Amino acid sequence: MTDTSTPEVSKPPTVKRPRPFLRVFLKVGLPITFIAVAGGFVYATLTREPPTPPRFEVEQPALLVQVLPMQRESVQFSVTSQGVATPRTRTTIVSEVTGHIVEVSPNLESGGFFTKDEVLARIDPRNYETARKRAQADLAKSRTKIQTEQALAAQALENWNTLQGLSANNDEASDLTLRKPQLAEALAELDLNKAALEKAEEDLDRTVIRAPFDGMIVEKHSDLGQFVNTGAQIATTVAIDLAEVRLPVSLRDFQYLDLEHFSRDQTVPVRLTADIGRDEPAVWQGSIVRSEGIVNDASRVVHVVAQVENPYDNENSHEHPLLFGTFVNAQIEGREAGDVFVLPRHAIYAADTVWVVDDADEIYPRELTVIRSDRNLAYVSDGLSDGDLVCITPIDQPLPGMRVKYSE
C-alpha cells in the first residue's frame, strides 16, 4: 500500500544577525584599532636608536718629512742686483785744426784697440809749418828791433848828458827824448810774436791726432783724404782701464750694505756673473766704489756703482773679457750679523711660522722674528732655540700634533 502522505519539508537554519554594537565595531572600531597598532609599530621602529657599531682605533700613519736642526751662527749678508757693464770714460775725438787727413792708423776702426798717445790720424801739416816759419821770422825781427831801440835809447841818453854839460840848465830828459816809448813798443811786439810762434807750433802739433788714453774705437767718423774743419768728429772712443756697472738696490736691501766702506780707500767687494753660452757662467771680481745717494722717484731704489779693473784683459786679470754692454748679475757683500738662525725660505708658512718636531715626533707651529729673507733663505733672530728640529718638507695642511717620522 502506497503511502500517500505529504513529505515533511526541512527548514533552513536560522542565521543570527549581529547585534548593533558589534556591527558598528566591526565596521569602524576594528580598522581604527588596526591603524593605531600599525602606527605605533611604525613610530617605535622610527624612534628606536640604532645599535652602536663597534669602534676600532685606527692609528694614523706617520708622515715622512725632512728636518733641519737649528744652530745660531754668524752670517755675511749679501745683496743681489743686475746691471749693464759700461765704460767709465767715453770720448769723441775731434779735429782742432782744418785740413785734409793724410794718414790714419790701422787701429782707427770700430773695435780697434790703441794705447795712450798713439797717433790715430794726421792732418796735412804744410800750411802750419809755413805759419810757424813766418812766426819765427817775425820773432827774430822783433828781437833785432829791440836791440836797435836799446842802442838808440843809450845814444839818446848820452847825447842828453853831453848837452846838459854844455849848458847851465839841469832839466831832465823826457821819455820821448830817451826813446822809452819806442823801446816799450818793441818789447810789446816781441811778446806778441812770441805768442804767435807758440800758437803756430801748437797748431802744427795739433795736426797729429793722438789717443788720450788706453782704449778702443767705438765708431769711426772720418777717414783718409777727407777734409775736416775745426771741431769735426774723428772717432768715438772708450777707455778700457775700468768698466762700471750701475746697480739698483731697494731701500730694504740698502740698509744691509756697509756704507762706511764707500770711499776710495775702502771698497765693498762685488761678484759679477754673466751667461755667455758656456757650461759655467763667466765671473768677474769688482768693487762698489760709490753710491749715487739719491732715491729714484719712480722705482724707489738707490743706485750704487761697481767697478771692474781691466775688463778686456783676459790674460792676466780675468778668465773672460767683460765686454761693454754685457748684462751681469751682481752679488754685493753686505754687513755681518751674529746669532741668527738660517733656514730655507720655503719652510716658513704665513711669513712668520715654522713647524717644529717635538720629542714625541709630533709637529707644532712656532712664530718667528724674520729679520731678512732672500730668494732661497730666511734669517731669524727670535722664536727658535739651538737644537730645534724644523720641518723643511712642504706640508699641504699641517695640523698641531700630527705625527711624523723624519730624516736630517
Checking 385-388 for CB contacts under 8 A at 24+ apart, the result is: 385/70, 386/70, 386/71, 386/72, 387/69, 387/70, 387/71, 388/69, 388/70, 388/356
d(CA 195, CA 200): 9
Would residue 4 count as lying in a domain?
A: no
pLDDT for 2 equals 44
Q: Is residue 375 part of a domain?
A: yes
- Using pLDDT thresholds of 50, 70 and 90, give the confidence band for residue 83: very high
The reply to whether 160 and 235 lie within a common domain is no
> Are 333 and 351 in a shared domain?
no
Q: What is the pLDDT of residue 324?
A: 96
The reply to whether 151 and 200 lie within a common domain is: yes
pLDDT of residue 27: 64
Does 361 lie in the same domain as 244?
no
Claim to verify: residue 263 and residue 320 sit in the same structural domain: yes
With respect to residue 352, please indicate whether it lies within any of the assigned structural domains. Answer: yes
CB neighbours of 253 closer than 8 A, spacing ≥ 6?
79
One DSSP character per residue, 337-364 reads EEEEEEEEGGG-BTTTEEEEE-TTSEEE
Cα 255 to Cα 275: distance, rounded to the nearest angstrom? 29
At position 160, the amino acid (one-letter code) is W
Residues 333 and 244 in one domain: yes
Average pLDDT for 97-120: 95
- The helix (run of H) or strand (run of E) holding residue 234 is strand 233-239
Q: What is the pLDDT of residues 11-69, one digit of tens each?
A: 555 545 555 655 655 666 666 776 776 666 666 666 666 666 666 555 668 889 999 99
For residue 20, tell me if it sits in a domain.
no
The predicted structure's pLDDT at residue 30: 63
Q: Radius of gyration over alpha carbons of the chain, in Å?
A: 56
As a whole number of angstroms, the distance between CA 120 and CA 183 comes to 46
What does the pLDDT read at residue 29?
A: 63
Res. 335 pLDDT band, cuts 50 70 90: confident
Q: Same domain for 175 and 139? A: yes
Cell of 357: 718636531
Q: Give residue 1's pLDDT.
A: 42
Q: What are the residues whose beta carbons fall under 8 Å from the beta carbon of 346, sequence distance 6 or more?
A: 392, 394
Contact at 8 Å (CB) between 247 and 82? yes
**Confidence (pLDDT) at 363:** 92
What phi, psi does 39 have (nearest 5°)? -65, -40
User: Which residue range is the domain that position 118 belongs to?
Assistant: 91-123+207-239
Predicted TM-score (pTM) of this structure: 0.69
Q: Are residues 119 and 211 in the same domain?
A: yes
The backbone torsions φ and ψ at residue 183, rounded to the nearest 5 degrees and listed phi first, read -70, -40
What average pLDDT does the segment 265-289 reach? 88
Q: In this predicted structure, what is the pLDDT of residue 159?
A: 79
pLDDT given at position 4: 47
Give tens-digit pLDDT for 341-396: 999 999 999 889 999 999 999 999 999 999 988 888 999 999 999 999 999 999 98
Does 250 reside within a domain? yes
The tens digit of pLDDT for each residue in 188-216 reads 999 999 999 999 999 999 999 999 999 99
Which 3 state secondary structure label does DSSP give 171?
coil
- Show which of 315, 337, 359 is a domain's final residue: 337
With 0-12 / 13-18 / 19 or more C-beta atoms within 10 angstroms meaning exposed / middle / buried, residue 126 is exposed
Q: Within this chain, do residues 95 and 221 fall inside the same structural domain, yes or no?
A: yes
- As a whole number of angstroms, the distance between CA 183 and CA 148 comes to 9
pLDDT at 40: 65
User: Where does residue 128 fall: left (phi above 0), alpha (psi -120 to 50 degrees), or beta otherwise?
Assistant: alpha
Which position has the higher pLDDT, 269 or 161? 269
Average the pLDDT over each of 283-287, 317-321, 347-351 and give the range with the smallest value: 317-321
> How many angstroms separate the CA atoms of 306 and 304, rounded?
7
**Number of domains present in the structure of the chain:** 4
For strands 233-239 and 282-295, give the pairing: unpaired
Let me know if residue 273 belongs to a domain.
Answer: yes
Same domain, 187 and 326: no
Identify whether residues 163 and 215 lie together within a single domain: no
Let me know whether 227 and 103 are in one domain. Answer: yes
Secondary structure (3-state) at 186: helix
CB atoms closer than 10 angstroms to residue 155: 12
Q: Answer whether residue 141 shows pLDDT above 60.
A: yes
What confidence score (pLDDT) does residue 17 get? 54
Q: Is residue 286 part of a domain?
A: yes
C-alpha closest to that of 345 among 380, 381, 377, 382: 377
Mean pLDDT of 213-233: 95
